[in-house]
Amino acid sequence: MTTSLLPVLLSIVCALPQDPAPKGPADAPAAPATKEPSRRSRKADAAPAPSAPRAPVEVPNDLSPIIATAIERLVAMQEEPGQWPYEGVYRVGGKIPVGYRIGGTGICGEALLRAPGHAGDPARTAAIGKAIAFVCEGIKEPLMSPDDYDGGYDVRGWGMCYGARFLLAAQRAGAVPEAMKDQVNAATAWYLAALAKLEIPQVGGWTYSRQPGRDTPCPASPFMTAPCLETFFAAKAQGHAVDPAMIERALKALAGTTAAASGYVDYSGGKGVKDKADQIPGAVGRMCAAEVAMTLAGRGSPEGLERAIEAFCAHWDALEVRRAKTGTHVAPYGVAPYYFYYAHYYAAQAIALLPEDRRAKHWSAFNELLFRTRSAEGTWNDRVFPRSANFGTAMSMMALLMQQPGAADPARWVAPAPVGSE
């Protein structure tokens, strides 16, 4: 979950019956819990100063070999029966929850689809085909049901979001085997309908933590609402019926998490937010994601995108200090490790949405940061779990692909004209 995909990335307090254990690495035990300082104990102040100057890092002029290595590593990391599970500390019945298995698979599968040449690469074609089958079978999992969810912390929504997104990408790329087209069409429609059912009542948008219960309004999560909106934008562009009122509610909720003066985007909200400029270092991923979604809906601006991008670059060290660490929302900025490559993905997408003549300087700064965390093996990982290199590598690879000539533009939302208008 994208992410940690995801975020993340990017995030089921009930048992998962027969959660399928992969034939690859065994599920690791959850990391020890870390006591987190209260958010309320933080003193509000002005926005922190940018990080100190960083030592230079080598960034290759030609990104193609870097992408080729990432493709090879991702294919090798696929587990039976065709999954790339996202692994975090969260467990259901001692296993990685099915929402993380489907969501992680969707993110990695989409990365492989975005890279040119997949049709001529037998290993990649086979991996994508197995992933499509795995994601299609996911709709049969009891803990993916949108009807049996009653509230609380739950990650099935991430599986719905990125499962649908991957299947849409596979259809767009012509990568669905003929024999599976009907199954893929049915599964895509199922995921989209299921995600729509999990919309927060009255408030709009989505979250993975419905503590008051499913039927009780609660604050929307921009961390989740932004990628869900992008999934529905893609669905609409590919001919699926999408309720415009649901999109309007989500966009309103997303706007309600953003402070106009500083651009700070809160952890959750929907009806207006207090400007916590001192917390911007922990909000840069949400800032980029929210601005991307608003821009794709025709409600953002190049200036808003650049403000989020510049905040990401200026405060990158506040994310880096939490990369591959235990604990989740640790003070002073509430940064969880799974925010790391989620934030990179959305910073990259924000740059790609800028007017062409404003991108070059931002790509240079972005790549200098991204290559600081590339492993000697050619992967990226923001968690303590080796398996999670699948998520980090996929998100980083898609960020690099956005810079390549001919990169596809994401789907945009065009609101339907009012009834009776010309």
Nearest to 294 by CA among 281, 308, 282, 277: 308
How confident is the model at residue 45, as a pLDDT?
Answer: 45
In the chain, how many domains are there? Answer: 1
User: Within a domain: residue 345?
Assistant: yes
Mapping DSSP onto H, E and C, the string for 109-165 reads HHHHHHCCCHHHCHHHHHHHHHHHHHHHHHHHCHHHCCCCCCCEECCHHHHHHHHHH
Type of residue numbered 218: C
- Block residue for tokens 């740059």: 351
Give the pTM. Answer: 0.88
How confident is the model at residue 24, as a pLDDT?
Answer: 37
User: Within a domain: residue 29?
Assistant: no
User: Within a domain: residue 408?
Assistant: no
User: Within a domain: residue 390?
Assistant: yes
Asked if 195 and 231 touch (Cβ cutoff 8 Å), the reply is yes
The CATH number of the domain holding residue 346 is 1.50.10.20
User: Within a domain: residue 27?
Assistant: no
Q: Where are the beta strands (DSSP E) in 324-382?
A: none
How confident is the model at residue 420, as a pLDDT?
Answer: 59
User: Within a domain: residue 38?
Assistant: no
Asked if 368 and 56 touch (Cβ cutoff 8 Å), the reply is yes
373-384: b or e for each residue (b if 16 or more CB lie within 10 Å)?
Answer: bbeeebbbbbbb
Owning domain of residue 191: 65-401
User: Within a domain: residue 392?
Assistant: yes
The DSSP secondary-structure symbol of 345 reads H
Instruction: Give me the residues of the chain with pLDDT under 70, please.
Output: 1-48, 50-52, 270, 419-422
Which residues, in sequence order, are bridge partners of residue 79? 83
User: Within a domain: residue 35?
Assistant: no
How confident is the model at residue 51, as a pLDDT?
Answer: 65
Give pLDDT tens digits for 310-357: 999 999 999 999 999 988 888 889 888 889 999 999 999 999 999 999
How confident is the model at residue 213, as a pLDDT?
Answer: 83
